Amino acid sequence: MAAGDSFYITTPIFYVNDVPHIGHAYTEVAADVLARWHRQRGDDTWLLTGTDEHGQKILRTAVANDTTPQAWADNLVENAWKPLLKTIDIRNDDFIRTTDERHEKAVTSFLQKLYDDGHIYSGEYEGYYCVGCEEYKQLDDLMETTDGDYAGQLVCKIHSRPVEVLKEKNYFFRMSAFEKPLLDLYESQPDFVQPSSVRNEIIQFVKQGLADLSISRSSFDWGIKVPWDDTHVVYVWFDALLNYVTAAGYGVDDELFARRWPAVHIVGKDIARFHAVIWPAMLMAAGLEVPRAVFGHGWLLVGGEKMSKSKLTGIAPTQITDTFGSDAFRYYFLSAITFGQDGSFSWEDLSARYQSELANGFGNLASRTIAMVTKYFDGQIPDATADASITELAERVTVAADAAIDRFAINEALASIWELVDALNGYITEHEPWALAKDPANRDRLAQVLATVVHGLGTLTVLLSPVLPKATSTLWAALGGTGSVDEQRVDRAWQFTAGSRVTPLSAPLFPRIEQAATEGAA
């Protein structure tokens, strides 16, 4: 997309039935890096995140903890979910809660329109219901266990918990009417659902035939009331998905909505079906544009299992950031895992990559560059023309990383950027500034070598600022950069212009982590 375009990006809104783990943080960081990159490219960028607070699961969790659903949600939002954003340096523009008045009003308006236009009807439904998913399940979504506490029972394949058989009067959305329009959408916009593995799953699911969707519940009352029948509350997904338009001004601020919508949705692959099937069908029914794209990323695996509190594989983000820092958290998950595929987490891999890539690679490059300019030129950045080999590489890397971001290939963008890190470290080793400094006759060559390294390091500082906001802010100041690093055009990073002087770093950007500390974290 061209710089200056609107770029509205969202994370899912997360259930407040428990505290966040690194799986949630992974989604947040990915969306944040994409948003930061687009902001620094000059796009009109807006990042939305938030919490999903309605539904039977929240109600039961609150009752089990002897409190009200609203009090439970308020506590989790203020003491767990919003603090997560600070822990991992998320620069969101908005935070929506499904209990917000702005959301509830807009949901009511949207639902009434669909009802008035004939897209909703009443009926009776009986089926298997998973409280964890807040969704009725088909038989192929279930499996019969043979051992353990639930032996002989049908359990949800995602949560491994028994489903309930429910029969109740519900309101239904005529989703079956959108089977062909959805298939036409996937064909006409091949990039609408990404990556291709998720797209193929979605297409096969829709081709099997779509049933009408139950969109209300009458057996509990924690939710938004159906406007024409207050004995029903809105089905949690029909409520939750609407956050993306209610936060963007739907039904309230037409000018803002036109500016923001449509959005790019970053979600886990397990909820891609809701976003790529139900959500665009809802929007089509309302006469609104479908999202720009739905990207279903892979799962974080620990010990071969998907990250989950219920399976005791959940790791709190602070268990990592307290030892390695937020920059390392952000870098590790986005470089070590191919975005869009499942990826395994291990403390050993995190520690190894921190040491080799951040501390010894980028961090040491920064430290010795500034130290050499300080030692050999008294802190004055040499006024010399940088070697073309490095400046040309800096441009190629910038272009490649920018193109990778447009493909949501964050790990590929970082791999491209790291080509410059490795090249600069190799350049220093090859040209040995410390040896050049011993002979005054080599003064001009020494100036050129250090000017080249400073230029490359400045380029890296801009390119890495969406991923490593803390370290690059410190380094930008040390390089005498004008303004803040996040104000620099990331798509023109190779055009970096150095300040006049460097300022010594007071500490390494990525301090050595003692083995004992990492073992303690594990």
State yes or no: is 169 an active-site residue. no
Strands 213-214 and 164-173, how do they pair?
antiparallel
Distance CA 494, CA 492 (A): 6
Catalytic-role residue among 137, 156, 232, 265: 156
Active site residue 232: no
Catalytic residue chosen out of the listed positions 57, 119, 130, 431: 130
**Looking at 54, 57, 133, 137, which residue is catalytic?**
133
156 appears as a binding residue in the annotation: yes
Residue 265, annotated as binding a ligand:
no
User: How far apart are alpha carbons 45 and 117 in whole angstroms?
Assistant: 33
d(CA 447, CA 467): 30
Catalytically annotated residue among 105, 113, 309, 470? 309
Annotated active-site residue in 105, 169, 306, 470: 306
Would you state the structure tokens that stand for residue 75, as one six-digit string?
Answer: 């506590």
Instruction: Give the torsion through C-alpha atoms of 275, 281, 287, 289, to 10 deg.
Output: 40
Any idea what the Cα angle at residue 385 is, between residues 383 and 388, rounded to 5°?
A: 155
470 is catalytic: no
Q: Can you point out the beta strands (E) in 250-386?
A: 263-268, 293-297, 300-302, 305-306, 343-344
Active site residue 207: no
State yes or no: is 156 an active-site residue: yes
DSSP of 62-88: HHHTTS-HHHHHHHHIIIIIHHHHHHT
Q: Among residues 159, 225, 375, 470, which one is catalytic?
A: 159
Active site residue 309: yes
Task: List the catalytic residue out of 21, 103, 137, 431.
Answer: 21
Answer yes or no: 130 catalytic.
yes
In Å, how far are 56, 257, 379 from 158, measured between CA atoms? 17, 35, 58
- Is residue 479 exposed (0-12), middle (13-18) or buried (19+ Cβ within 10 Å)? buried
Check the annotation: does 159 bind a ligand: yes
Verify whether residue 306 is a known catalytic residue: yes
The tokens of 457 are what? 């390091």
54 appears as a binding residue in the annotation: no
- What DSSP designation does 134 have? T
Q: Which residues are annotated as a binding site?
A: 130, 133, 156, 159
Q: Which residues are annotated as a binding site for Zn(2+)?
A: 130, 133, 156, 159
* Positions marked active-site: 21, 24, 130, 133, 156, 159, 306, 309
